[in-house]
Amino acid sequence: MAAHGARIRFVEAGAGPALLFVHDALASQETYREAIAHLARSFRVIAPDLPGFGHSEKPDPVRYAYGYNAFADSLLDLVAALDFGRLHVCGHGMGGGVALALAARHPSIVHKLVLASALVYPGGEHPLDRAARLPLTGALFWRQIMGWSMFRNYLHGTVYAGAREVPLDRVNTAYANFNAPAARRAAHATIAAKSDTRMLVAHLPRIQAESLVVWGRDDRLAPVEQGRRLARALRARFEVIACGRCPPDEAPEAFASIVTSFLRTAPAAARNGPVS
């Protein structure tokens, strides 16, 4: 399906209130595969691959401005084309920032917001993220040099930071999706852009959707206190799961249980109350 200038591939499962998943950088909807199996019992789940990732189109950065706003606009087009109206939105890592941008820019379509280990505040950064912003050498490394082993180490240090183990099939699938010229260009453009989260921080006071922040207890990239800080800013419910940075994939059953409970709960007056 075409959305904001790029063809998007998505999976859909279940029936009930609509729930949109947004994945992290260098990942895909595969991140949510196990969680979808649980959540599809109660919700109509839509899990796209963002432009540049997975099996979606990978337009040249010259014509697609990889970053939070462009991704949010693509998701807005997808939601409109599928005629969902209002829906719940869940984002992980960089996808949490995209979900936040969508909720701030288009509040009328976001019912409830779930942010899992969301990239919002500056802080922990992988050396290869910094390298991506270097003139010439960053592009050379990401677009031509990075091989499977270094890619695996990058996933272990970012998407799955703090995880006890990362399934080899996740690494192999992600690398296969990355290891083509157009995909490498898209990945480099995204990695170079995602570190600037000032816009996301500025968006926080504009969020109207009732929100849930979920964090991995052992996240090595962004400590739990970052999640607590985000929950305070949004006056959101805050939950910690015994896992690393990727609760949807590392602890899918626990993650799905927490999300289901939150989404099924009637709107809370507690949005103006204290964060637990």
3-state secondary structure of 199: helix
The answer to whether the CB of 31 falls within 8 A of the CB of 99 is no
Amino acid code (one letter) for 224:
V
pLDDT at 275 over 50: no
Look at 3-17, 151-165, 215-229 and tell me which has the smallest mean pLDDT. 3-17
Alpha helices in the chain, H assignment, sequence order: 33-39, 68-81, 94-105, 127-132, 137-140, 148-157, 168-178, 181-194, 198-203, 224-234, 247-250, 252-264
Q: How does pLDDT run across 28-41, given as a tens digit for each residue?
A: 999 999 999 999 99
- Could you tell me the CA-to-CA distances from 7 to 78, 80, 89, 93, 213 in Å, in that order? 10, 14, 20, 23, 30
Average pLDDT over residues 23-51: 96
pLDDT in tens, 179-201: 999 999 999 999 999 999 999 99
Distance CA 40, CA 45 (A): 6
181-199 burial by CB neighbour count: b if 16+ within 10 A, else e? eebbbbbbbbbbbbeebee
Q: 185 phi and psi, to 5 degrees?
A: -60, -45
Higher model confidence: residue 266 or residue 36?
A: 36
Question: Does residue 103 carry a pLDDT above 50?
Answer: yes
Residues 71/200, Cβ–Cβ less than 8 Å: no
2-272 CATH choice from 1.10.10.10, 3.40.50.300, 3.40.50.1820, 3.30.300.10: 3.40.50.1820
Domain ranges of the chain: 2-272
* Residue 19 phi, psi (nearest 5): -135, 115
Token digits of residue 36: 């979808």
Does position 276 have pLDDT exceeding 60, yes or no?
A: no
- Going from the C-alpha of 166 to that of each of 91, 112, 160, the distances in angstroms are 20, 29, 7
Residues 168-177: tens digit of each pLDDT? 999 999 999 9
Contact of 8 with 51, CB cutoff 8 Å = yes
Reading the block at residue 78, the tokens are: 């997808």
Residue 60 has pLDDT above 50, yes or no: yes
**φ/ψ of residue 210, rounded to 5:** -65, 135
Query: Tell me, what's the pLDDT at 138?
Result: 87
Contacts of 32 (CB under 8 A, 6+ apart): 21, 23, 45, 47, 92, 248, 249
Give the separation between CA 4 and CA 195, rounded to whole angstroms: 22
pLDDT at 105: 94
How many whole angstroms separate alpha carbon 25 and alpha carbon 223?
19
